[in-house]
Amino acid sequence: MFIYSVYDISITGVNIRNSAFRAKYCMNINDAHHFNEEEIKYVMPYFERILAEYYQDFLSKIVA
């Protein structure tokens, strides 16, 4: 199962607790759960990398 927290700054660089970050990347400054289009562009490479790692791990288990 793939569970991921966008609150983990070390993985995504997302600082959702920061009001300036939310003002730029969330639907509004008080919203810490819904990203706007700019945020999606920002985090997409991180999500792609994580999914690729999980997929490679999955493939290694079914091929072996």
Q: What is the pLDDT of residues 3-62, one digit of tens each?
A: 666 677 877 778 888 899 899 999 999 988 888 999 888 888 888 988 899 899 999 998
Residue 28 falls within a domain, yes or no? yes
Residue 27 falls within a domain, yes or no? yes
Residue 4 falls within a domain, yes or no? no
- The span from the CA of 39 to the CA of 33, in Å, is 11
Domain encompassing residue 35: 9-63
Instruction: Provide the domain count of the chain.
Output: 1
Provide the pLDDT for residue 52.
93
Contacts of 60 (CB under 8 A, 6+ apart): none
Kindly report whether the global pTM for this prediction surpasses the value 0.85: no
Provide the pLDDT for residue 11.
74
